[in-house]
Amino acid sequence: MGTMEDVVQLLAEDGTLRNHEVYSTYLEDLDDAALRDLYRHMALERRFDAEATSLQRQGQLALWAPALGQEAAQTGTIAALKPTDRVFPTYREHAMALYRGISPEELIGTFRAARHSGWDPEDYHFNTYSVVLAAQTLHAAGWAMGIAQDLRTGSLPPQKAEDELVLACFGDGASSQGDIHESMVFASSYQLPMLYFIQNNHWAISVPSSTQSRFPLANRASGYGFEGVRVDGNDVLASYAVARHSAQQIRSGEGPKLIESVTYRMGAHTTADDPTKYRTSEEIDAWTAKDPVARYKTWLQNEGKADEAYFDTVDQEATELAADLRHTVHTMEGIDIDRVFDTVYAEPHRQVETEKAWLKDYEAGFAEEEGQ
Amino acid sequence: MSQIFKLPDVGEGLTEAEIVSWRVAVGDTVEVNDIICEIETAKSLVELPVPYAGTVDELVAAEGQTIEVGQPLIRIAGADQPAGADQPADDAAAPAAEEAPAQTETAQTESAQKEAAETEPTETESAETEPAKQQSQSSAAENSEENQALVGSGPKADSAKHRRRLRSTAPDLVDVSDLGIEDHGRPQPERSGAGAAESIAQASPPVRALAKRLGVAAGELVGSGRGGQVTRDDVERRAREKQAQREAGKSPDSGPPAPESRAAQPQEAGLLRSGPREENVEVRGVRKATALNVADSASTVPHVSVFKEIDVTATMTLRQVLKNDPAYQDLSVSPMLFAAKAIMWAARRHPQVNASWHETHYTLHNYVNLGVAAATPRGLVVPVIHDAQIYNTLGLAAALTQLTADARDGRTTAAEMQGGTVSITNVGSLGLDTGTPILPPGQAAIVALGAVRKKPWVVQGHVVPRDVMVVGGSFDHRLIDGDLAGAFISDVAAVLEQPGLLID
């Protein structure tokens, strides 16, 4: 996987800040309140994530895909973008989703199998989660081609071009999918305003990223004719700065860019997975030492950017967010099954009606038993 | 107040788990999400967080015990929980249960069980009392039918697995609705239990598609696969049977098989020949070019056709002379050769026949690019002898021979088919007497040669056998009126009757 030497890092694991001639300049735009807010978003997602994991273990969610350990990668990147930039997420972009204002109810419904999708992408410029690996990168390329066409035909004014770049999220596992290749070929050929964001969390379920690629994933970008950068995904400041830099280049019309965010999935792939079967506790310990939230908190404290009262406030907010999530899940009603059938086609359809009647008959079989 | 936490499905579709170890003991105080035990499922080792706060009242399941999803795991007394989380909802039915907060421990437990009953009916839960509950604690396994509950929003299959059914529901059917077949076998849910679909077999979508493609209806199929499922082989076998029946000259439902001797009688078969009833053939290549050309020509050029029957005995005599001439060895010496000479002779006398129409003007050609219509394996092609007027008779015979051979062998190039000014078509080679050819695009005249036949002919008052043929053709009426067409054909005819006219 290459060495970590080529990975952009501003905030070291011990919480000390180092200077980088290009990327450090972007931090100047962050005042203390903005710096604190990065922490707040990470901490809130971490608590939300833990609650969702517990809720799944308590039988309240069908599944949960924890983002534990990837808070900085996601938060730093989404914070660097404009609210109008279009995000095409995987199913693990919880920090990004919450950052954009997607509510716990909207986010959790699919994981409770109570909603087909939780939110209207137009409301947040944030597409629905894609469970199909890498498919969203094709959707993203298509969306970006739409932007490019709108610009070409004049239906989108040139000055508006800077307001919408397309963020295509995927992981080290999905990077092996053919869809990625097609997406990148189109992005490069049409010089699309796209930022490819790989969260290399080192594990594609049980397959290590070292098996997926013999050299850094960021290097693949050069094969398509654009630039790839590796960043320490557990460093929220570097994640922010690199994303800002790449976004600026994209907005100026330089075409697509790629960021490989080197991070680590501290939790299971999903709640249906048991990572102890394929990775060692030594590896977990090594990455725990690089924890993104703890590292950043240390720096905020040492620099006097935030006091204990602030952290207490965030803790309280996180507790309330978790309670809100718990309450939401417990009171969330399921899907109206009639509606599922009735929305397959615009007009009544014989086969759908047949299957609907079959299900009703099947369910009625239990009612008879109950009546005895 | 107490709450029972039942074993959830912590994976995707898991049905049971083994209690590996308890992390809490009776009397311990727990907070929401505290880890209470570790379980092992078919997939993984999982730490379970408790959804209630309070004191551990009872560990219902023992370490080493395997329990099914939905069975009681732990009882927490004095449940004191965060707002809004006091009644875990199992599904959409849960809010109804929450409307009636439990007054006592017993009622509370009952409520929780009733909630479970929304999706999993049991026979005894509504009558269950404290003693019954105690019993369930001591022998959870035996009472699992009564006590098990649906937990969480896991796959529905889990719930169905535990629910008893008294009757079956009609299986999915082979969908052949778009074959226009009466759907007597469609399910009738409102009249269920009547075995409405007994005669209809199950089939997977690809097999259904195959049946549709081969014209086999659902009712004709008997499944030989697992569980009576229709297989690909079943469909193909049935299709072969039907084909054999058709070839044997009887419809599938027309009683006893016909005697074997009749099977070979072609008039008994349903079609003109073997093969599908209708066949779509892609239009391309020469066929497409011909279609475009003749459609364009026939729809834009007003054709006028004239014919004349003539005595070509003299030409046939001359033809025999040339054939015997060693100079013409290996060359084709046909009536076409003389017709070509005749056309050029006539065109010299009638310039407006050798012309092209351009709406606002027309072009008179002071040369003849002679198109020769040729039926080839690829279709109709009209190769052109450019500047045919420069050839002497021998040269023209050689050119025609070469052109015919090239066309037959498919060697005619695109350039060789361009630029014709007048064409000739030999329908006589097809044994025909005449026809009304369509003008090639851009040309104003095409001459048709009929077959040369020995016919009775009146010569100087006597009926004698002579070589007779019909010569005629089609003309662009925008340029050429009937009198000009007649004069031209008459000149061509004159040469063919008196080839001596060709001598300068």
Please state, in angstroms and rounded to a whole number, the distance separating the CA atoms of residues B110 and B103: 11
Mutate one of B44, B47, B118, B162 to test the A interface: name it (highest A CB count within 10 A): B44
List C-alpha distances in Å: B316 to A16, B336, B391, B498. 112, 11, 21, 11
Contact B92 A331 (CB under 8 A): no
Residue A235 has pLDDT above 60, yes or no: yes
Contact B318, B499 (CB under 8 A): yes
Contact A174, A133 (CB under 8 A): yes
DSSP secondary structure code for residue A8 in this structure: B
Domains of chain B: 2-162 (2.40.50.100), 170-177+199-275 (4.10.320.10), 285-502 (3.30.559.10)
Q: Which long-range contacts does B400-408 make (Cβ < 8 Å, 24+ apart)?
A: B400/B332, B400/B334, B400/B336, B400/B337, B400/B340, B400/B372, B401/B330, B401/B331, B401/B332, B403/B372, B403/B374, B404/B332, B404/B372, B404/B374, B407/B372, B407/B374, B407/B376, B407/B381, B407/B383, B408/B374, B408/B376, B408/B377
Tell me how many degrees the CA angle B97-B102-B108 measures, rounded to the nearest 5.
85
Whole-number pLDDT of residue A372: 43
Name the burial class of residue B205, with classes exposed (0-12), middle (13-18) and buried (19+) by CB atoms within 10 angstroms of its CB. exposed
Please state, in angstroms and rounded to a whole number, the distance separating the CA atoms of residues A50 and B312: 107
Please state, in angstroms and rounded to a whole number, the distance separating the CA atoms of residues A86 and A143: 9
Please state, in angstroms and rounded to a whole number, the distance separating the CA atoms of residues B102 and B111: 7
Q: 3-state DSSP call for residue B18?
A: strand
For residue range A154-197, list pLDDT tens digits in order: 888 888 888 999 999 999 999 999 999 999 999 999 999 999 99
Cβ partners under 8 Å of residue A180, min gap 6: A134, A137, A170, A174
Whole-number pLDDT of residue B211: 84
Contact A292, A45 (CB under 8 A): no
The two most distant CA atoms of chain A are separated, in Å, by 79
Residue A290 has pLDDT above 70, yes or no: yes
Mutate one of A324, A326, A368 to test the B interface: name it (highest B CB count within 10 A): A326
For chain A, positions 10-69, list CB contacts with chain B under 8 A: 50-51, 54-63
Q: How many residues does the structure list for chain A?
A: 372
Q: 3-state DSSP call for residue A229?
A: strand
DSSP secondary structure code for residue B203 in this structure: B
Contact A271, B10 (CB under 8 A): yes
Q: What is the DSSP string of B308-355?
A: EEEE-HHHHHHHHHHHHSGGGTTS---HHHHHHHHHHHHHHH-GGGSE
For chain A, positions 112-151, list CB contacts with chain B under 8 A: 112-114
> How do B303-311 and B355-357 pair as beta strands?
unpaired
List C-alpha distances in Å: A30 to A198, A201, A249. 24, 27, 19
The radius of gyration of chain B's CA atoms, rounded to the nearest angstrom, is: 47
Residue A317 has pLDDT above 60, yes or no: yes
Calculate how close chain B gets to A153, using CA atoms only, in Å.
37
The separation between CA B348 and the C-alpha centre of its own chain, rounded to angstroms, equals 57
Return the number of other C-beta atoms located less than 10 Å from residue B309's C-beta. 15
Contact B152 A51 (CB under 8 A): no
Look at domain A4-334 and name its CATH class.
alpha beta
> How do B370-376 and B422-426 pair as beta strands?
parallel
Calculate how close chain A gets to B60, using CA atoms only, in Å.
16
Whether A276 contacts chain B with CB within 8 A: yes
Contact A330 B89 (CB under 8 A): yes
Tell me how many degrees the CA angle A263-A267-A268 measures, rounded to the nearest 5.
115
| Chain A residue numbers touching B50 (CB-CB < 8 A) | 58
Q: One digit per residue, pLDDT tens: chain B, 504 residues?
A: 789 999 998 877 778 888 989 999 999 999 999 999 999 887 778 889 999 999 999 999 998 888 988 899 999 998 755 444 444 444 433 333 333 333 334 444 444 444 444 444 444 344 444 444 444 444 443 433 333 333 333 333 333 344 566 656 554 444 434 444 344 344 444 433 434 344 456 777 778 888 888 888 877 787 888 777 888 888 888 888 888 887 776 554 544 544 455 544 544 457 888 888 888 888 877 788 888 889 989 999 999 999 999 999 999 999 999 999 999 998 989 899 999 999 999 999 999 999 999 989 999 999 999 999 988 877 888 899 999 999 999 999 999 999 988 888 877 777 788 899 999 999 998 899 999 999 999 999 999 999 999 999 999 999 999 999 999 999 999 999 999 999 999 999 999 999 999 887
List C-alpha distances in Å: A42 to A39, A63, A68, A97, A306. 5, 22, 10, 12, 15
What is the four-CA torsion angle of A223, A227, A232, A234, rounded to 10 degrees? -90
Strands (E), B384-461: 384-385, 422-426, 445-449, 453-459
Residue A46 has pLDDT above 50, yes or no: yes
Q: Which chain A residue's Cα is nearest to B185?
A: A354
| Residue of higher predicted confidence among A235 and A274 | A235
Contact B88 A354 (CB under 8 A): no
Query: Whole-model pTM?
Result: 0.55
Q: Look at phi and psi of residue B240 and say left if phi exceeds 0, alpha if psi is from -120 to 50, else beta.
A: alpha
Whole-number pLDDT of residue B285: 77
Mutate one of B36, B169, B182, B190 to test the A interface: name it (highest A CB count within 10 A): B169
Q: Return the HEC string of A33-98.
A: HHHHHHHHHHHHHHHHHHHHHHHHHCCCCCCCCCCCCCHHHHHHHHHCCCCCCEEECCCCCHHHHH
Return the number of other C-beta atoms located less than 10 Å from residue B452's C-beta. 19
Please state, in angstroms and rounded to a whole number, the distance separating the CA atoms of residues B91 and B119: 8
Contact A58 B186 (CB under 8 A): no
C-alpha closest to that of A71 among A234, A283, A232: A234
List C-alpha distances in Å: A214 to A4, A221, A222. 14, 14, 15
A215: tokens are 């050299």
Contact B187 A354 (CB under 8 A): yes
B413: tokens are 């190039």
Contact B402, B367 (CB under 8 A): no
Please state, in angstroms and rounded to a whole number, the distance separating the CA atoms of residues B333 and A48: 98
Q: Which chain A residue's Cα is nearest to B50?
A: A58
Please state, in angstroms and rounded to a whole number, the distance separating the CA atoms of residues A88 and A180: 13
Q: 3-state DSSP call for residue B75?
A: strand
| Residue of higher predicted confidence among B283 and A13 | A13
State yes or no: is B477 an active-site residue.
yes
Please state, in angstroms and rounded to a whole number, the distance separating the CA atoms of residues B471 and B449: 5
Please state, in angstroms and rounded to a whole number, the distance separating the CA atoms of residues B71 and B139: 11
Contact B17, B70 (CB under 8 A): no
Contact B49 A57 (CB under 8 A): yes
Calculate how close chain B gets to A181, using CA atoms only, in Å.
31
List C-alpha distances in Å: B346 to A173, A326, A328, B340, B351. 83, 103, 100, 10, 9
Contact B46 A113 (CB under 8 A): no
Name the burial class of residue B240, with classes exposed (0-12), middle (13-18) and buried (19+) by CB atoms within 10 angstroms of its CB. exposed
Whether A271 contacts chain B with CB within 8 A: yes
Mutate one of B3, B10, B50, B115 to test the A interface: name it (highest A CB count within 10 A): B10
Calculate how close chain A gets to B239, using CA atoms only, in Å.
25
HSE-up (13 A, CA, CB side) for residue A48: 29
Q: Which chain B residue's Cα is nearest to A326?
A: B85
C-alpha closest to that of A333 among B318, B93, B137: B93
Residue located via tokens 């534990």: A68
ipTM of the complex: 0.76
Calculate how close chain A gets to B360, using CA atoms only, in Å.
42
Calculate how close chain B gets to A1, using CA atoms only, in Å.
29
Please state, in angstroms and rounded to a whole number, the distance separating the CA atoms of residues A100 and A120: 12
What is the four-CA torsion angle of A118, A120, A124, A125, rounded to 10 degrees? 120
Contact B364, B448 (CB under 8 A): no
Q: 3-state DSSP call for residue B220?
A: helix
List C-alpha distances in Å: B449 to A122, B305, B318, B435, B498. 76, 13, 18, 9, 16
Cβ partners under 8 Å of residue B323, min gap 6: B333
Contact B75, B57 (CB under 8 A): yes
Question: Alpha helix (H) ranges present in B99-231?
Answer: 105-117, 130-138, 144-147, 156-162, 205-213
Whole-number pLDDT of residue A288: 96
